[in-house]
Structure 1
């Protein structure tokens, strides 16, 4: 009986990793934007970059300078300093004095009923005048030709929303392994390959880079509809897709890069709201149930200890887990050692999820940028659900 149960465990894990591998192969079919060739439009539309920043003094200057050296002919940059307590605002003001294309909005007070980043995005859109709006994290750094390249692609292909995977800079061995594992593990649910299908309800938005046609954005309810949405980037993708926009997901290596987190410790802190809010829908029990499923997919080699089960029974699942990880990291052009350690990354994910459940249950909500939001309030208006 024990051998039968252990065999079923191995079979179930192998089935999941087979599904994940198939999902990764479908993701790999998405376009590599630097390889896409598109003619220049007859007239370049005005482009506004909206970049909210809160305490980003270490990264904001490099990001903005990479925008200011773009070869795009009609560019406006709206940087929104969202209640920063470090030198972010001062750095932005100094850069704006030297280049009139940069406008800086300073937010001193957060309105009631808004998450800080959503309010900052709302302020940025109100200030922006472009025909295209690029919503991007304040630590994204761009290749000099990136904006011209992506706008030409969208104009030629009739795209209303384009979101890109960036080049991911190193986050330490455990940080890299965890982010790689999260990408593979979440691929089946993400369905990024289906985003371009107008008949599919799949949607996507990756905060590092979301380029939206202003006319398409105007057909959405706007950021007020998302004002308490933890997954603001995915929410933007959802709005544009629901409004009938033509949406695409692509790989942006060679065009943009960023370091999502400095290390695993920072990742654990900043991903807490994501796992508790998005994955768990503000329920610790839901997060812990996901942890149980995750552990079942990574600890299944222990089944080889069961008497009567041949050791080779664990090999299909292990092979598929490693194959899916290597294929995903290969597509993202990540050749770092962590790509060989999916088990380590999955255990890192499990730790972050357990921590997220514990903190979420203790606080009965989330604390973001110094403001506490009760779970009951956030749950009632949540739009992004998986």
Structure 2
């Protein structure tokens, strides 16, 4: 039984490796792109991010770019810091948000307001905690043009500091490489095979508007995935790229933030589908948790009975290698991989909490707002 189980895990490892080759890396090719780009950043209570955000934007080397920064009714010094750090640079337009209308989620409404002010060919939606390499726009626009894409997106590199962050945040990359058929995502128009990360989404403006923009998904808590599916449903090409060499996201600043952020996104991210959530949890149990349990039993046998059975450890080694490969591709620390059973267990617990919050109508709290 353990031999057959290990064989399945080996096949999954090989699939993960093969699957990864259908996610292209950003690179610059051809003549310098000339399309004008508007970078649109919604900010709510982001005073900690404003100085480094604006410093980063000013260092971008793309020649034809404008910045639209919207203060979404912050309760801290976000707007004052925006004015201070943007200074006289005429590329910056600072905007004030409006009261959140009924039926809208906060970030979606802020992005919708931002999109109404930008008239350039390309729109790049960024989160305030994202940092780009100076030539990222050149690479992204070049890839968009070469792939004839209407949306280019990708999951950033995530520097992680807090323990819960280390266990949870890199699992976003794991889900993509292990569970999403990247050929279907990047080379077909199949809407269900779509993924995106809302911290970095570069659109052709005319195609974004034709798909309805953020107004078409106004109540979404996972606007990135829903927008990607909208784009595919209108016949437009979506490219999910490996942007980890060029885009960094400092996603959470505490374990509590990480817990609440995943709680808000995890069940809605699976369409609030109980069968899909159950299938994922069963996968994590079978592929990530059980190998750890077999290894613990093998260690017990070795310690208590001086009996070494290699097959007890093989599933865990294969599971760790799979996670290690994903971490290598996404530029995360390889030292995180041995904790894959614990990461999976916490992920399952969070899924249960997210499901309970959805069905109990307690909803989700994020940045001072509540959502069902």
What is the CA deviation profile of residues 163-192 of structure 1, one whole-angstrom value per residue up to 9, with x for unaligned ones?
123222123344223233443245343333
CA separation of 1:225 and 1:104: change in aligned 2, threshold 3 A: same
Name the count of aligned residue pairs: 362
Report the Cα distance in structure 1 between the residues aligned to 2:309 and 2:348, rounded to whole angstroms. Answer: 25
CA separation of 1:156 and 1:120: change in aligned 2, threshold 3 A: same
1:31 has 2:29 as partner: no
Give 1:11 deviation, angstroms: 4.8
CA separation of 1:371 and 1:259: change in aligned 2, threshold 3 A: closer
1:121 has 2:111 as partner: yes
CA separation of 1:189 and 1:268: change in aligned 2, threshold 3 A: same
The one of 7, 11, 15 equivalent to 1:22 is: 15
Q: Which structure exhibits the higher relative contact order, with contacts defined as CA atoms closer than 8 Å and separated by 6 or more residues?
A: 1
Moved more, 189-198 or 237-246: 189-198
Partner SS state of residue 98, structure 1: coil
Q: Is the 8 A contact 1:203 1:234 kept in 2?
A: yes
Q: TM-score, normalised by structure 2?
A: 0.86
CA separation of 1:164 and 1:61: change in aligned 2, threshold 3 A: same
What is the CA deviation profile of residues 232-280 of structure 1, one whole-angstrom value per residue up to 9, with x for unaligned ones?
1111211212222222121223322121122433211111111232236
CA separation of 1:314 and 1:16: change in aligned 2, threshold 3 A: same
CA separation of 1:178 and 1:368: change in aligned 2, threshold 3 A: closer
Partner SS state of residue 271, structure 1: helix
Partner SS state of residue 141, structure 1: strand
Q: Is the 8 A contact 2:185 2:195 kept in 1?
A: yes
The one of 210, 213, 224 equivalent to 1:222 is: 213
Give 1:204 deviation, angstroms: 2.1
1:339 has 2:330 as partner: no
Q: Is the 8 A contact 1:288 1:353 kept in 2?
A: no
The one of 255, 258, 268 equivalent to 1:264 is: 255
Structure 1 residues 214-293: aligned runs within 5 Å: 214-279=205-270, 281=272, 287=277, 290-293=280-283
Corresponding residue for 2:328?
Answer: 330
Structure 1 residues 184-199: aligned runs within 5 Å: 184-199=174-189
Report the Cα distance in structure 1 between the residues aligned to 2:180 and 2:351, rounded to whole angstroms. Answer: 18
Moved more, 353-362 or 81-90: 353-362
CA separation of 1:29 and 1:192: change in aligned 2, threshold 3 A: closer
Root-mean-square deviation (CA, aligned residues, Å) is 2.9
1:177 has 2:170 as partner: no
Corresponding residue for 1:3?
Answer: none
Corresponding residue for 1:151?
Answer: 141
Structure 1 residues 23-62: aligned runs within 5 Å: 23-34=16-27, 36-41=28-33, 44-62=34-52
Report the Cα distance in structure 2 between the residues aligned to 1:370 and 1:17, rounded to whole angstroms. Answer: 45
Q: Is the 8 A contact 2:130 2:199 kept in 1?
A: yes
Report the Cα distance in structure 1 between the residues aligned to 2:204 and 2:294, rounded to whole angstroms. Answer: 52
Give 1:159 deviation, angstroms: 2.3
Report the Cα distance in structure 1 between the residues aligned to 2:360 and 2:189, rounded to whole angstroms. Answer: 41
Q: Is the 8 A contact 1:23 1:191 kept in 2?
A: no
Report the Cα distance in structure 1 between the residues aligned to 2:201 and 2:229, rounded to whole angstroms. Answer: 12
CA separation of 1:13 and 1:187: change in aligned 2, threshold 3 A: farther
Structure 2 unpaired stretches of 5+: 302-307
Q: Is the 8 A contact 1:27 1:193 kept in 2?
A: no
Moved more, 170-179 or 288-297: 288-297
Q: Is the 8 A contact 1:174 1:338 kept in 2?
A: no
Give 1:215 deviation, angstroms: 2.0
Partner SS state of residue 241, structure 2: strand
The one of 64, 71, 83 equivalent to 1:74 is: 64
Corresponding residue for 1:348?
Answer: 346
Report the Cα distance in structure 2 between the residues aligned to 1:287 and 1:203, rounded to whole angstroms. Answer: 17
Give 1:218 deviation, angstroms: 2.4
Report the Cα distance in structure 1 between the residues aligned to 2:334 and 2:162, rounded to whole angstroms. Answer: 10
CA separation of 1:181 and 1:90: change in aligned 2, threshold 3 A: same
